[in-house]
Amino acid sequence: MINRILTFNLCAIVLTLSTIPAQAGSVRETAVVKAIRRAQSAVANIHSEKTADDSGSLFSVDRGRKINGMGTGVIIDERGYIVTNHHVVDGVESLRVTTFDGSAYTAHVVSFDRKHDLAIIKINPTRSLNVMPLGTSSDLMLGESVIAVGNAYGYENTMTGGMISQLSRDVEVNEKQSYRNLIQTDASINPGNSGGPLINLEGEVIGINVAIRAGAQRIGFAIPIDDARKIIAELLNVEKLSQTWHGVVSTDIKSAKTQKLIVQNTIPDSPAAKAGLQPGDVILMAGSTSIIDAADFERACLGKKPGESLTLSVERTSKKQELILTVGNASERPPSTYGTIVRANNNNDDNANESLWRMFGIRLNQLPPAERTQVGPRYRGGMRVTQVRAEGPAALNGIKQGDILVGLHLWESITFENVKYVIEHPQLSTFSPLKFYVLRGEETLWGHLPVGSFR
């Protein structure tokens, strides 16, 4: 169904927590108190320092001055891997992390994704750290109570409460940074909260706080955790970080009742193929790590040296069995396997439109240069919807002939190559339902398309 992008301004809920602990079972021990108690030990307070960029200044008196920054992180691995926003660590010269128990550590940036504004930093803790309980953003409800935890204005471990004001917000920060599909909340999010968790009343992280609306009150935004975990899996990819490889091509399944990692394929002659993993296997454990999604699987393999093995517990046709995965050396990976994903049906440029017709019941034409002014300054181009199949998925979800498709999932749709990238993506099933953005006149509309077994 097509949805119009609206703005809501909802009343705030402010939490006042007593500093005097109540006994367990006390009427004062509310769901909020329990949620905070469960999650707070996995929050990291981040302090940074960098040199100011005064290269464009007419005056040099302050050139080289130091700027102190602050942010928040979420501990995602007991060895000290922490996720935060990229803008928290961008260009910093030093990072200091303080954990909930007051321990302070020097940190360094491991990897980052500038486009999605996420980064992984690493500390070397003196003990095993608590990992943030993981929730899902697939079943969020308008009005649901949430809590933001963070280093607000440098006040470490600040808790603020509110509710989910709206879902699937698209936010343009500036010409270099924009976000898609954000959670909007009226929980107070201040400078320093960036990178911190938005948690539900189960104490589970359901979003990564990322932005506030300048000049507004009680309008904050968070990246849905299901979206963030896909990027986190890429940031923890063992081939990039430790030059090893496993060869698993997987799909995350996230819903209110189910969170699991399913093997979609294995790369031929890879360690995964040699271990005996098969399409449809559900990976339950890798070594001592419980596996919910690809991010868990990557961190389970992270730190393993080539030739080291870990035991995989998998579910196959409702039966559990154990397999031994021996991690390979990335330098020995056959060049022919890069980008290889076994598909039942390979599409090419000539039949991309027919694939769209079969999958969603639409056909597209690329906008000619003369018509690109119709998309205005907000978009670089789009694809004109030339045909819509009656009672097809696109028609049932509000797409009409003449609409201009400007985006699918996280990517713009200017050419057939852009569209093919999405519909042939190895993790397409995890995008379900697939979000689309269309222009109709002067209005940007959005909706969702179901993703079935198309490959």
Residue 401's contacts (CB-CB under 8 Å, 6 or more residues apart) are 385, 386, 387, 388
Contact between 191 and 214 (Cβ < 8 Å)? no
Instruction: Examine the residue annotation and report whether 145 is marked as an active-site residue of this protein.
Output: no
Residue 285's contacts (CB-CB under 8 Å, 6 or more residues apart) are 291, 311, 312, 313
Contact between 366 and 383 (Cβ < 8 Å)? yes
- Interatomic CA distance for residues 162 and 32, integer angstroms: 11
User: Cα 192 vs. chain centroid, distance in angstroms?
Assistant: 20
Instruction: Examine the residue annotation and report whether 194 is marked as an active-site residue of this protein.
Output: yes
Contact between 389 and 357 (Cβ < 8 Å)? yes
Contact between 186 and 11 (Cβ < 8 Å)? yes
From the candidates 117, 226, 252, 281, which is the catalytic residue? 117
Q: Show the beta-strand stretches assigned E in 317-419.
A: 319-326, 328-329, 362-366, 383-388, 404-408, 411-412
From the candidates 165, 188, 194, 250, which is the catalytic residue? 194
Contact between 327 and 301 (Cβ < 8 Å)? yes
Residue 134's contacts (CB-CB under 8 Å, 6 or more residues apart) are 204, 205, 225, 229, 259, 292
- Interatomic CA distance for residues 41 and 100, integer angstroms: 5
From the candidates 87, 116, 409, 448, which is the catalytic residue? 87
Instruction: Examine the residue annotation and report whether 296 is marked as an active-site residue of this protein.
Output: no
Pairing of strands 43-51, 259-266: unpaired
CB atoms within 10 A of CB 26: 10
Element containing residue 81 per DSSP (H, E): strand 81-84
Catalytically annotated residues: 87, 117, 194
